[in-house]
Structures are given as C-alpha cells and as structure tokens.
C-alpha cells in the first residue's frame, strides 16, 4: 500500500526566503506525482505534474523534482511571498489511476 | 485549461436528509472520476472511483449504501450522501481525468463541497 509523507507539517518563513517542501513515498512504481496548493476551505489547485520518466518541472518561482528510486520529491519555492501562504499537498498516482495524498505542509510567509 | 465544476459549494441541512453533490467536467470527457473526503486539518482520502456507465469502485471502509455514486455520462458524476448524520459532515472533493489521453494527464479537481449536518 502506497504511503505518502510530507515534511515538515508546518513551516513559517519571512517574505523573500527560498524554501523547500519535501514529499516521500513508499512504493516507487508510480505513474506521476503532482503538487497541489489548497487555501483554507477551498479546493485544490494543481501546481506541477511530474511524469515518472521526468526528473523535474518548473513553473515560475516553483520547481519540483522527482527521484523515483529513492521515493522522494521536493517542491522548491523561490523568493516566497505572503500570497504563497497555503497548504501544499503532494499526490502520487499509481497505474490504477488513483491518487494517494500526503498530509500536506502548511506554509506561512510573513510579510 | 480543463475545468471541473462541483456543485453545490456548501450545504447545511438537518440530520436524516439526503444530499446530492454534482461533479462536471466542462471541456473534456471524463471516463473516470474520483470522490475524496477531507476531514479538518487532514489530507484527502479516496472514497470511490466513479466509472462512466458502470458501478463505482469503493475503497475499503466506505459504505456503498451510504454514499451512492452515479456516473451516467462522460461529463457528470454525482455523489449522494443518504440519510446524512453529523458524522458525515466533511469536505467532499471530486476530480476527473481526461479519458481520451489516459493516465498521463493530471487529475483536475473541483472546488469541493462543504457539508454540514445539524
């Protein structure tokens, strides 16, 4: 059974700082890995999708990496802004099309 | 881009009421949709996989008779919480994947439905 762990559970940083969120998974037989953002009481916004054959994806200030063999992914946020404050979730897709989510990292960027 | 519309966004109703939540893919065909439940400060837990034209596949521990899923068309899946009770209060989110392009495409999520049972 796939298990997804996100560390840290919460993170508080001053504005402008670069930061890294971590996601690890137990079964490396994945189809893809996706990072999401969730604002309080809201749904999910997809940030980046990394296919199993890829090592990283970039979108603006965000960069996600994937090391399938070690079961790890990181989400790098450059020059953080207060608007980046949210919960970040990683989700691993299996070949069955199901997603297993981590518990998320709640990020607070202080002005 | 692909959009998934979920309705209603919030429901408050009395115990014993049945509540229907709709999930629509607006600009793509979704042969498969997924229903998730999220408790406060917890992650999403997959409840069931909704397959167009066939029965839903439920995850272990999810009551089929309690959470009725219907996927009558390639763009619509519904989740009905039957005879809802306070313990059913939660945030329910659906997702869909473009069935024409297979599993390499990301899941697109609805905005979720916050269900509160009094």
> Is 60 exceeded by the pLDDT of residue A40?
yes
Which residues on chain A are in Cβ contact (under 8 Å) with B107? 34, 46, 91, 93, 99
Pairing relationship of beta strands B32-38 and B19-25 according to DSSP bridges: unpaired
Per residue in A75-110, is it b (16+ CB within 10 Å) or e — as a string? bebeebeeebbbbbbbbbbeeebbbbbbbbbbbebe
3-state DSSP assignment of residue B66? coil
Structure tokens at B68: 């009725």
Which residues on chain A are in Cβ contact (under 8 Å) with B6? 43
Q: Give the pLDDT confidence of A47-103 residue by residue, as tens digits.
A: 999 999 999 999 999 999 999 999 999 999 999 999 999 999 999 988 667 789 999
Distance between CA B105 and CA B108 in Å, rounded? 9
Residue B40 CB neighbour total at 10 angstroms? 8
Closest CA to A90 of A59, A50, A52: A50
Q: Do A89 and B44 touch (CB under 8 A)?
A: yes
Structure tokens at A34: 């996706």
Q: Contact A32/B105 with Cβ under 8 angstroms? A: no
Q: Do A31 and B104 touch (CB under 8 A)?
A: yes
Q: Give the pLDDT confidence of B12-65 residue by residue, as tens digits.
A: 999 999 999 999 999 888 888 999 999 887 889 999 998 888 889 999 999 999
Residues of A (22-61) whose Cβ lies below 8 Å from B: 31-32, 34, 36, 41-46, 49, 51
What is the pLDDT, as a whole number, of residue B2? 65
Which residues on chain B are in Cβ contact (under 8 Å) with A91? 44, 107
The more confident residue out of A45 and B107 is: A45
Q: Do B108 and A46 touch (CB under 8 A)?
A: yes
What is the pLDDT, as a whole number, of residue A99? 86
Distance between CA B87 and CA B68 in Å, rounded? 17
Cα angle value B44/A77/A27 (rounded, 5°): 45
What is the pLDDT, as a whole number, of residue B1? 61
Write phi, then psi, for B5 (nearest 5 degrees).
-105, 130
Q: Contact A104/A87 with Cβ under 8 angstroms? A: yes
The verdict on B50 touching A (C-beta cutoff 8 Å) is no
Distance between CA B50 and CA A105 in Å, rounded? 29
For residue A8, whether the previous peptide bond is cis, meaning omega lies within 30 degrees of 0, is: yes
Residues across chain A? 111
């Amino acid at each position: 059974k796939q298990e997804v762990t996100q560390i840290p559970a919460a993170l508080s940083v001053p504005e402008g700082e670069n930061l890294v969120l971590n996601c690890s998974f137990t079964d490396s037989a994945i189809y893809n890995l996706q990072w999401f953002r969730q604002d309080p009481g809201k749904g999910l916004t997809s940030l980046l999708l990394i296919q199993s054959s890829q090592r990283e994806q970039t979108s603006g200030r965000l960069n996600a990496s994937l090391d399938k063999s070690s079961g790890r992914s990181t989400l790098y946020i450059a020059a953080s802004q207060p608007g980046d404050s949210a919960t970040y979730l990683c989700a691993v897709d299996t070949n069955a099309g199901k997603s297993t989510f981590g518990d998320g990292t709640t990020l607070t960027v202080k002005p | 881009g692909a959009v998934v519309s979920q309705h209603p966004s919030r429901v408050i109703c009395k115990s014993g009421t049945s509540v229907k939540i709709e999930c629509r893919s607006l600009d793509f065909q979704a042969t498969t949709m997924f229903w998730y439940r999220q408790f406060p400060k917890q992650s999403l837990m997959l409840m069931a996989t909704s397959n167009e034209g066939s029965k839903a596949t439920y995850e272990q521990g999810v009551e089929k008779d309690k959470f009725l899923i219907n996927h009558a068309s390639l763009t619509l899946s519904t989740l009905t919480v039957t005879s809802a009770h306070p313990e059913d209060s939660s945030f329910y989110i659906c997702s869909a994947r473009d069935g024409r392009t297979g599993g390499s495409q990301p899941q697109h999520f609805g905005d979720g439905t916050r269900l509160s049972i009094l």
